Amino acid sequence: MKIPTTSWTLMYQIYKKVLPSVHKYLTGWKNRAANIPDQELRTQALASIETKTFHCEGGAIYGLLGGEKREEVIEFIVAYQTISDYLDNLCDRSTSLDPDDFRALHESMQDALTPGAELKDYYRYRDENEDGGYLADLVRTCQRCIAEFPSYHCVEKHNLELSLLYSDLQVHKHVEKEERVHRLEKWFAGYEENLPPMSWYEFSASTGSTLGIFCLTAYSAAIETLSLEEAEKIKSGYFPWVQGLHILMDYFIDQEEDRQGGDLNFCFYYKNEEEMLTRMEYFYIMAEQSIKDLPDWKFHRLINNGLLAIYLADDKVKKDPELRRKGNRFIKSGGAPTLFFYMNGWIYRRKSKT
């Protein structure tokens, strides 16, 4: 299957070859979640699927890079993203503020990326632990998929590095509110010298995305002769700029909701609105540059433009005139492809509701 390089062909393949598979797998996981014995775990598992379906829909686009193993790549992405969204709910909306609990839960994300890894008691630090095997089955599904990918051994190291950064972020940002910024600043200090110039909150945003893992894994499925050097190039193409843009856009549209809920939002730490918008535009520019040396770079450029559009088409932006005004600036930055994806995203979300 030819990898799409234009807006029209990408949208066609998303609607025909990606979304049906995503919804098939999500329906299966939703049915499993509905049978979780513990009420709190069941509530959070179902809520994570109900409210974050678009995470799986967006991530699964990387299945189009999977060649003959497209279906297996999509199955992996849906399972891995479902783990991520479920654990985010358990850390953010549930009963614990214990960093040991958060660390133990997120060990599942590393095990899911390690073929043959022995599963652990991920709930060992919390009272709620009867999930009927739900989390373990998600992990096993990921392991089964990646075990079939011919070059997975070339990307495993990078996947685990990105996954550990993601897990660290989830631990630090979900503890007691008074501890969060200090922990994140201290964590950033250990990586700062090896990063481009950026703030602690921009680094944190760059670690909060799963896109690099999905991209690396898709190529490991499709390219039998993928080299370690090519894997390193793919990782560098996505981290930090593409992943940072992804999560900054996520926080950008959630500002009012997080302000009302008293939640941590990385956009709050910019000095003013202009600095925030300028830095986010800079992340977009750097993301465009970082993907130019990747295989299928035109596909990745479309994804970059789509990142802007999928968030700007959200109802939160539509209902907030001030947010919409700021968002129009990003649409102009992305040009015609972003506008195209924006219109498609806007239409798709409304069709989904009906």
pLDDT in tens, 304-317: 887 777 777 667 77
198: region left, alpha or beta (phi > 0 left; psi from -120 to 50 alpha)? beta
Structure tokens at 144: 């089964």
CATH number of the CATH domain containing 19 = 1.10.600.10
pLDDT surpassing 80 at residue 323: no
| Helix, strand, or coil (residue 134) | helix
Domain that holds residue 134: 7-353
d(CA 57, CA 77): 9
pLDDT in tens, 99-114: 999 999 999 999 999 9
- Domain total of the chain: 1
Q: Is residue 220 part of a domain?
A: yes
Q: Is residue 1 part of a domain?
A: no
Predicted pLDDT at 340:
47
Answer yes or no: are the C-beta atoms of 74 and 25 closer than 8 Å. yes
Q: Is residue 246 part of a domain?
A: yes
Largest CA distance in the chain: 51
The mean pLDDT value of the chain amounts to: 90
Beta strands in the chain (DSSP E): none
Which comes out higher in pLDDT, residue 127 or 162?
Answer: 162
d(CA 169, CA 180): 10
Average pLDDT over residues 327-340: 58
DSSP symbols for 266-310: GGGGSSSHHHHHHHHHHHHHHHHHHTTTSTTHHHHHHHHHHHHHH
Q: Is residue 2 part of a domain?
A: no
Where does the pLDDT of residue 256 fall: very low under 50, low under 70, confident under 90, or very high at 90 and above? confident
Q: Is residue 337 part of a domain?
A: yes
d(CA 286, CA 284): 6
pLDDT in tens, 28-43: 999 999 999 999 999 9
Distance between alpha carbon 4 and the CA centroid of its chain, in Å? 21
Which helix (H) or strand (E) segment is 152 a member of?
helix 152-173
Q: Is residue 57 part of a domain?
A: yes
